[in-house]
A and B are shown apart, each in its own frame.
Chain A
């Protein structure tokens, strides 16, 4: 009974950042048209276009895109875990720094530009430069060094939202859905199965009594039941995959973005679905706390 109560608190504390992230993304999508404009440009991860005439062809392309995407992600995840296992910390560290650099500066620059365009504001280079520099530098400090916990979390949420937005723009619709499904499955598998790379990552970190990289793992202020020396918290394993793929230029956590439906943005229910999926995955990651998992499953069903 105690575990159940404890688990519920976990769930709630995960809800908040995920919801916040959603809010940011939705707000942006609704107001800034840039991110929903159709473009023929696509990420290199999804080379098959969706502008094909027949439904069957389109479906096939989506599946193909998904396979490519998923394999990239799986490879990245495994690569990351291997690195971690063999203590190539410097490499991981450098990778994370580079990817967060790019996110914090370049993407936020784009984002800001689009927001200004939408509201028809004229801004000068020096001001923009200052804003981006401040945002990025403080972000780097907070995430990779020391900073107030809430600010760190806020930054991580914002980064997720930013990535989600980029992803939304450049990923064709049907592919997005298929990828989303596949990612959810992969996430569950990777975390639940004893051989899953993400689970191994968590367990290795536990064994070594190390706090996991902050940008690698999103930390809310929860304490693990299974004895960890440092107060580590629920993991966003997606974050791990994000950072690694981010380096090569642009994969996003599908869980945290808004998949688009055809023309309208019927986003609310989609986000629920995604969020719940994330929650199940996350809850399970907290050291096999099966009661929590069950609670989550029940919550999803309701």
Chain B
């Protein structure tokens, strides 16, 4: 319980966190993103961007930088994959029958 409270005391502002905690948070967000969570990577990048690139250097900054960079990379990868998939899907949807269809109603444009 105390741990829960403490963590929330600090959430409000990244500034007030000691550097080790920042690093740990960044790392956790980075690792979490591997669970099919590109959004988490996005949050990681945006949130820690200032920490990693704008602030004057401190010991943990190098590692934070790596995490942010890798998160950004992962994010881009996901975006590419998703875009490709959506394009394929939208293009070939009619020809596939009902495979993988979420919406059972389709755009009424003469689709078999």
Task: Decide: A141 and B32 in contact? CB cutoff 8 A.
Answer: yes
Within 8 A of A (CB), among B81-109: 82, 85-86, 89-90, 93, 100-103, 105-107
A116 with B103: in contact, given A122-B90, A126-B85 (CB under 8 Å)?
yes
Bin the interface of chain A by size: 35 or more
Task: Decide: B37 and A211 in contact? CB cutoff 8 A.
Answer: no
Residues of A contacting B: mostly: helix
Task: Decide: A127 and B9 in contact? CB cutoff 8 A.
Answer: no
Q: How many residues of B contact A (CB 8 A)?
A: 35
In the assembled complex, which residues on chain A have CB atoms less than 8 Å from the CB atom of B11? 146-147, 149, 152, 214
Task: Decide: A151 and B43 in contact? CB cutoff 8 A.
Answer: yes
Task: Decide: B85 and A230 in contact? CB cutoff 8 A.
Answer: no
In the assembled complex, which residues on chain B have CB atoms less than 8 Å from the CB atom of A211? 5, 8-9
Check A47 for interface membership: any CB of B closer than 8 A.
Answer: no
Task: Decide: B43 and A146 in contact? CB cutoff 8 A.
Answer: no
Check A134 for interface membership: any CB of B closer than 8 A.
Answer: yes
Check A267 for interface membership: any CB of B closer than 8 A.
Answer: no
In the assembled complex, which residues on chain A have CB atoms less than 8 Å from the CB atom of B100? 124-126
In the assembled complex, which residues on chain B have CB atoms less than 8 Å from the CB atom of A89? 1
A49 to B49, CA, bound (A): 54
A interface residues (Cβ-Cβ under 8 A, vs B)? 89, 93, 113, 116-117, 120-128, 130, 133-135, 137-138, 141-142, 145-149, 151-152, 210-211, 214, 219, 221, 230-231
Q: A125-B102, A137-B39, A146-B11 are in contact. List 12 more A-B contacts (CB 8 A).
A: A89-B1, A121-B103, A122-B101, A122-B106, A124-B89, A135-B39, A138-B43, A141-B32, A147-B11, A149-B11, A151-B43, A211-B5
